Structure 1
Amino acid sequence: MIRRRAVTVSTSNADDAAYRALRDVAIATEDIPDARVVGGQMVGLLVTAFPTGPAIIRRTADADAAVSTQVAASGALHTAFIAAGYQPKRGSRYESEDGRAIDVLVPSDNRFRQVELGGRGFDAVPGLRLIFAADPILIDLDVTLRMTRGCT
């Protein structure tokens, strides 16, 4: 397993919300082996943890989590996100009243599509099975937020 420490600074209120949502994903998936952070935030975290020279860090306003179809069908993340103050929205998106947002994605064999697992809809994305075939890269992240009110 690869483990790195990274330090970064939030650049906007949207960035604050995305990092706080990332924390919520990390807490909810801590004991789930078939869960990974993906999308724009993952790219930014990897560039921060493994700097390769001048780069513009990709920013995003939400956290994207990929989970196996078994994890999605179990409802465990749904329960965890509700307990963390999120409300389910369209598809597999969760939003909180304070601006945090999480999208949950599942693997698809060959095309982008909607699937129903455990009574909930999910966006199925090709290529996600590959990320579960390798050990996760763990990044211990220290973020300085712009607005600390309401953060824990």
Structure 2
Amino acid sequence: MRAARLVAALATLLTVVVAPGIAHAASITQSFYADSGDACRYGVTDGTLGWRYGTASPLPMLGVDVSGKLTDRPLPSGPATCTGDGYYSRATFIAYAGAVEVDRQTRVADNGVVPFTFTLGGNSTSTGVNRVVVQVCRSPVITLPPSYCGKPVTYLAPPVA
């Protein structure tokens, strides 16, 4: 038993020594959801946040991969429970390092579904994202605002042991 452990430990050590730099960054996936806050849920965004960590110690934050969709109702093929209201939906994703905003992305949909994939805070100057705030707002298509927004939803970086 001890011989097998010794061989396994040596094989691992040789892999690290012979092929440095092949370690891969860790990623922790978390679901997200935010809506426009109205009774019909005209605007809804959902998907996943992929928190990417490096391999150095302590683990540096490399960015957050965001993948999902923004839905604005009514949908052409959907039920008629949400009638046309002349508004479009806007989902905003804001990445923070402490209290400092480090990145922001916005996606827009009008009576449809818009899929998206992007990275927040993925540049080399980023100090590390520790939270992402997601909010869906609705604005009139033709006239000037008033616009309205659902509650902002905050997602914290998962703890790394």
TM-score of the superposition, structure 2-length normalised?
Answer: 0.24
TM-score of the superposition, structure 1-length normalised?
Answer: 0.25
Structure with a larger share of its residues in helix: 1
Question: Over alpha carbons, which structure has the higher Rg?
Answer: 2
